[in-house]
Amino acid sequence: MSIEQQINELREELRQHNYNYYVLDAPTISDYEFDVKLKELQALEAKYPEYYDANSPTLRVGGQITKNFETIVHEHRMYSLDNSYSKEDLLDWETRIKKLVDGEVQYTCELKYDGASISLTYENGELIKAVTRGDGIQGDNVTNNIKTIKSVPLKLKGDYPPKFDIRGEIVLPHEGFIKMNEERIAAGEEPYANPRNTASGSLKLQDSAEVAKRPLECLLYNITGNNLGIETQFQSLEKARAWGFKVPEVSKLTNSIEEVLEFVNHWDVERHNLPYETDGVVIKVNNLQQQEELGFTSKAPRWAMAYKFKAEQVATRLNEITYQVGRTGAITPVANLVPVQLAGTVVKRASLHNADQIAKLDIREGDEVYVEKGGEIIPKIVGVNFTNRPEDSIPTVYASNCPECGAPLERKEGEAQHYCPNDNGCLPQIAGRIQHFISRKAMDIEGLGGETVTLLVKEGLIKSYADLYMLTKEEVIPLERMAEKSAENLINGIEKSKEIPFERVLFALGIRYVGETVAKKLVRHYKTIDALMAATEEDLVNVDEIGIKIAESVIEFFAVQEHQELISRLRVYGVQLEIGAEQLANQTDTLQGLTFVVSGVFHRVSRNELKKLIEDNGGKVSSSISSKTSYLVAGDKMGPSKLEKANKLGIELLTEDAFLTKIGL
Ligand SMILES: [Zn+2]
């Protein structure tokens, strides 16, 4: 078999596995086997770049940077839909339709997914571009980012037309959304408000590798184009499915508005069991010939109608407002409710966000309040039934002291949240920091869980994560529910954590805004904690992708004497506070102080490997050319505008070979 055949076969195989996993939800090989094949393809593509393919499955991992999203005019306008809210609205719509078309009318019913609309263009079975809805007439070119969404086919199967647009919705399933928020909270960052805004924000991220990490999905529902050989909407859904698109199975062909309403009523309840957020049903005249006769008004098609579900809302009594303290000291007010059934679950608590929100809605204990479950996971209070307010009702006075330690609360200028400043004497903050330290992505201490940490803190055995390394088996055994064996596991787990690499230790320290990725970047740059601690704010912001917010937070953290003491103790106990020898062996300072822009296709190494080589050798990678650029590493098919700019600024060009020679390869 020739190399080209081998590459093509691997691509085809990986495409099929992607399809099985992300579209059909029925994988036939393990993730590990998939990764092995992907790596094999990556290696072949790096070695034989002459077989480059812009739609290869290896491009799913992202890495392409888009600084400015190009505006593209939609070839076929993306209309919005008229909304309806009742049976009467739908019957009126049907009357209007029957005046304009002859014969029987059938309707397709599909769920309306709450996400970010997208239009994908395919030519000869390959994804050419992906454009956001924008204002319906023109949107942003987000192709690089969309390519990383695994359920978007990059190549189609079957008998597709030579050219068409397909529209759909980019959604973030509940499960993935919750996981992303857990990770943000772990990094001390504000959680995202709801899946829809997060999905839509993801499309405009500059680094497609970041998009690739997000569990986005693309659900398709409408094909547009000329001479497609399709006669009905229902048929178009079936065709799109056959070509490899993820088209929700929840769709139905109906013969009357009565049947439409049956579908609506069924899904108004059932939708809560779906993995995504939905906010209504889209009803379309099925026959495309009839659709054409009906045409469009100035803003919407006459042949389609959205039926909006009522936002799930119930009234219940607010018993008490309590306050929770997070790891960073942030205070969250919580509404404790008389339990009530809402959207398929029993709701007992709802978020009140902050003091402003309580004041704005004038929420008081004892009130009858309206609770709603919108796009958010945690239900929220949207209003108060003032007519039902008890006569002896008292306006809410926001907590002035920490509910856990009694310290007076503080509120920083411009921030909505109150904070407990007593970080060394406040149990949830102490326990929270240690819980973060031991968590799976940080020190991953086996045999120690969150509840045990709280117990250890309560019993006065530990006050900081450094204290963990002083614990003895004898101290731990007397704890509630602690047997000899589990005490031993706990101590062994702590001992083993001394091998955890520095980048994870740095994440574990719990510096605000220093998540996993930032920790990695800082470690690659500074290599030791001493170097990082000695860095000035100016040094820090000069590190690639480190902004002022992170820089300030790092400086602030290391300026605190207790933190310096913690680090000294961790060092004494043998925790890794510098980069490992093996990792370091691949790193030099050859390119120290130099900034590179990488463009085009390379032969001996992939573009990502090239970037890693620059960073490993002390250089900085930038995505755009400026007067600060030292070299432009130019591969094949480099963009002409980059070359022009480099020439204008007098920036030296390096070929791939010249670059590799420079670092001794
Ligand atoms: Zn406190």
What would the pLDDT profile of 1-18 be if each residue is shown by its tens digit? 899 999 999 999 999 998
Asked if 194 and 276 touch (Cβ cutoff 8 Å), the reply is: no
Average pLDDT, the chain: 89
Q: How far apart are alpha carbons 334 and 322 in whole angstroms?
A: 5
- How far apart are the CA of 404 and the centre of ligand 1, in A? 5
Q: What is the predicted pLDDT for the residue at 286?
A: 95
Contacts for 542-551: CB closer than 8 Å, 24+ residues apart: 544/615, 544/620, 544/621, 544/622, 545/518, 545/521, 546/518, 546/521, 546/522, 549/513, 550/513, 550/514, 550/518
- How far apart are the CA of 406 and the centre of ligand 1, in A? 6
Q: What is the predicted pLDDT for the residue at 276?
A: 87
Q: What is the predicted pLDDT for the residue at 555?
A: 96
Asked if 595 and 626 touch (Cβ cutoff 8 Å), the reply is: no
Q: What is the predicted pLDDT for the residue at 9?
A: 93
Output the six-digit token pair for 379.
């239900």
Active-site residue numbers?
112
325-349 mean pLDDT:
87
pLDDT in tens, 534-551: 999 999 998 877 888 899
- Higher per-residue pLDDT: 395 or 377: 395
- How far apart are the CA of 491 and the centre of ligand 1, in A? 29
Q: How far apart are alpha carbons 12 and 56 in whole angstroms?
A: 9
- How far apart are the CA of 466 and the centre of ligand 1, in A? 21
Amino acid 588 reads T
35-58 mean pLDDT:
88
The pTM (predicted TM-score) of the whole model is 0.59
Between 187-196, 322-331, 492-501, 641-650, the lowest mean confidence (pLDDT) is in 187-196
- Higher per-residue pLDDT: 105 or 611: 105
- How far apart are the CA of 536 and the centre of ligand 1, in A? 31
Q: How far apart are alpha carbons 416 and 604 in whole angstroms?
A: 52
Q: What is the predicted pLDDT for the residue at 584?
A: 77
389-417 mean pLDDT:
91
Asked if 81 and 301 touch (Cβ cutoff 8 Å), the reply is: yes
Residue 360, CB-side half-sphere exposure with 13 Å CA sphere: 10
* Closest CA relative to residue 64, chosen from 203, 204, 202, 208: 208
- How far apart are the CA of 457 and the centre of ligand 1, in A? 14
Q: How far apart are alpha carbons 132 and 138 in whole angstroms?
A: 8
pLDDT in tens, 616-649: 887 888 877 888 889 999 888 777 777 888 888 8
Percentage, residues of the chain above pLDDT 90 = 49
Please enumerate in sequence order all residues whose Cβ is within 8 A of that of 654, keeping only pairs 6 or more positions apart, or say none. Answer: 631, 632, 633, 634, 662
- How far apart are the CA of 329 and the centre of ligand 1, in A? 7
Calculate the CA 560 to chain-centre distance.
32
Report whether pLDDT(558) > 90: yes
Q: What is the predicted pLDDT for the residue at 25?
A: 79
- How far apart are the CA of 640 and the centre of ligand 1, in A? 58
Asked if 331 and 402 touch (Cβ cutoff 8 Å), the reply is: yes
Categorize the per-residue pLDDT at 344 as very low, low, confident or very high, splitting at 50, 70 and 90: low
Strand intervals (E) in 276-355 = 278-285, 304-308, 312-325, 331-342, 345-351
- How far apart are the CA of 355 and the centre of ligand 1, in A? 17
Q: How far apart are alpha carbons 468 and 456 in whole angstroms?
A: 9
Domains annotated on the chain, with CATH = 3-61 (1.10.287.610), 83-308 (3.30.470.30), 427-499 (1.10.150.20), 502-584 (1.10.150.20), 595-662 (3.40.50.10190)
Q: What is the predicted pLDDT for the residue at 396?
A: 93
- How far apart are the CA of 13 and the centre of ligand 1, in A? 56
Categorize the per-residue pLDDT at 378 as very low, low, confident or very high, splitting at 50, 70 and 90: confident
Q: What is the predicted pLDDT for the residue at 229?
A: 87
- How far apart are the CA of 417 and the centre of ligand 1, in A? 14
- How far apart are the CA of 427 and the centre of ligand 1, in A? 7
- DSSP per-residue string spanning 632-649: EEE-BT--HHHHHHHHHT
Residue indicated by tokens 């995202």: 192
Q: What is the predicted pLDDT for the residue at 572?
A: 96
What is the 3-state composition of the chain as percent helix, strand, coil, each rounded to the nearest 5? 40, 20, 40
pLDDT in tens, 430-453: 999 999 999 988 999 988 888 899
Percentage, residues of the chain above pLDDT 70 = 99
Report whether pLDDT(27) > 60: yes
Asked if 558 and 534 touch (Cβ cutoff 8 Å), the reply is: no
pLDDT in tens, 61-92: 777 778 888 889 998 889 889 888 888 999 99
Q: How far apart are alpha carbons 366 and 319 in whole angstroms?
A: 6
